[in-house]
Amino acid sequence: MKKRNRERLFFGSTTVGDRGQITIPKDAREKFDINPGDKILVFGDLDRGMGLMKASKLQGFAKKFFESFDIDTGSD
């Protein structure tokens, strides 16, 4: 089983622009391999705050998750 890295990082701060946009700090983009055009998911918990995740990180998980529900309908 792959061991999870529990390292906590702080990359600085950013300002929300007039159109609601933010700039992800360069060090964070490099560490998480975020490139122009990448889809970013935004999660939130009203008590704990917000988090960002690169959408491609969930693709493999989602595929395995939905395959686990593959039900034989007898239509073969």
Q: Return the SS3 of 50.
A: strand
Check residue 35 and give its pLDDT.
97
Spatial CB neighbours of 10, under 8 Å, sequence gap ≥ 6: none
| Cα gap 23→14, rounded to integer Å | 6
pLDDT category of residue 74 using cuts at 50, 70 and 90 = low
Distance from CA of residue 54 to its chain's centroid? 4
Q: What is the pLDDT of residues 14-69, one digit of tens each?
A: 999 999 999 999 999 999 999 999 999 998 999 999 999 899 888 777 777 777 77
* DSSP β-bridge partners for residue 45: 49
